[in-house]
Amino acid sequence: MNIIKTFFLVVLISFASCGFTQEKSIVVSSTTSTEQSGLFSYLLPIFKSKSGIDVKVVAVGTGQALDIGRRGDADVVFVHDKSAEEQFVAEGFATKRYEVMYNDFILIGPKSDPAKIAGGKDINDAFQKIAASQSPFVSRGDKSGTNAAELRYWKSAGINPTGEAWYKDTGSGMGPALNTASAMNAYILADRGTWLSFKNRGDLIIVVEGDRKLFNQYGVMLVNPEKFPQVKKVLGQTFIAWLISKDGQSTIASYKIDGQQLFFPNAKVSGR
């Protein structure tokens, strides 16, 4: 009898250690801009203090972040490529997409401005002049939201830069790509958030901004738990609900660097 009691006691202790006392945590696959801009470092401790949920971020390009969701290796996807996000929902990998915040893309370039585009407001015109002058341009080339936007701008400008000597495809995140552009004194498309937090600017400055086509929307989605039963539905939805709540939105708005706001909340929250 004592052996049987001991056995059941061991089982109960095992269940307690493996399940009932397990840390509440979720995995969020996200774009590098939310990580490298410092937003997550600011946002996630506040969320954890309110919810007790630890958020583990896998920061990659948007395309890779969506692929992680397609494999069921994340609970939540938080990215910035609306058409790709809508496709993700249409394919059944998520049931709903929520808009969270926006900022904008900006074109960065050397102060010497060999393409003569500084102060312009038309991104297509700027890309045409970069190509015409064969000025060095650094591309992330990583299937990120920023890379997808850049390729759209080249296409709308009527240019295919692939294979050109002046066009460097790095296959890297926003921070490393900016470092390459700084070292090469090259032009690069960046999200404003990462640029504001970037320290190794060298001779780079903002040369083109303000074009409506440079609008950069971020969305968040719960990976479909019906497709992937391992997805932590309740915890993931709790994170999403907080992001789009008045509290989450005001927290996003309060993140600033040198007094400049990096992201602007625009979730459709009742009462806002």
pLDDT > 80? residue 64? yes
pLDDT > 50? residue 204? yes
Phi-psi region of 134 (alpha: psi -120 to 50; beta: other; left: phi over 0): left
Taking alpha carbons only, the member of 251, 212, 218, 242 closest to residue 102 is: 218
Q: Please, where are the H alpha helices in the chain?
A: 2-15, 32-36, 39-51, 62-70, 82-90, 123-133, 145-156, 174-184, 192-197, 233-243, 246-253
Q: pLDDT value at position 268?
A: 85
- 219-238: average pLDDT: 98
pLDDT > 60? residue 99? yes
Q: pLDDT value at position 269?
A: 61
Q: What is the pLDDT of residues 112-127, one digit of tens each?
A: 999 999 999 999 999 9
Q: pLDDT value at position 246?
A: 97
- Of 1 and 216, the structure prediction assigns the larger pLDDT to 216
| Per-residue confidence band for 10, with pLDDT thresholds at 50, 70 and 90 | very low
Q: pLDDT value at position 47?
A: 98
Give the HSE-up count for residue 69: Cα atoms under 13 Å, Cβ half-sphere: 35
Contact of 129 with 115, CB cutoff 8 Å: yes
**Residue 41 in tokens:** 């470092």
pLDDT > 90? residue 16? no
pLDDT > 70? residue 15? no
Taking alpha carbons only, the member of 224, 220, 223 closest to residue 248 is: 220
**Residue 48 in tokens:** 């954890």
Percent of the chain whose pLDDT exceeds 90: 88
Any bridge partners for residue 26, and if so which? Answer: 55
Question: 215: which residues sit within 8 A by CB, 6+ positions away?
Answer: 102, 104, 105
Q: pLDDT value at position 122?
A: 97
DSSP state of 17: I
Q: Does domain 104-214 have CATH number 3.50.50.60?
A: no
- 243-250: average pLDDT: 98
Q: How far is CA 148 from CA 52, 84, 105, 112, 135, in A?
A: 35, 9, 12, 27, 21
- CA–CA dist 129, 121 (Å, integer): 13
Question: 140: which residues sit within 8 A by CB, 6+ positions away?
Answer: 61, 146, 147, 150, 170, 171, 172, 173, 174, 177
Q: What is the pLDDT of residues 19-61, one digit of tens each?
A: 444 579 999 999 988 998 999 999 999 999 999 999 999 999 9
pLDDT > 80? residue 2? no
pLDDT > 80? residue 1? no
Q: Where in the chain is the domain with CATH 3.40.190.10?
A: 20-103+217-265, 104-214
Radius of gyration from C-alpha coordinates of the chain: 22
What CATH number has the domain spanning 20-103+217-265? 3.40.190.10
Q: pLDDT value at position 11?
A: 38
- CA–CA dist 169, 138 (Å, integer): 6
The average confidence (pLDDT) of the chain is 91
Contact of 68 with 153, CB cutoff 8 Å: no
| Stretch (H or E) spanning 169 | strand 167-169
Q: Which pTM does this prediction carry?
A: 0.84
| Per-residue confidence band for 228, with pLDDT thresholds at 50, 70 and 90 | very high
- Of 21 and 69, the structure prediction assigns the larger pLDDT to 69
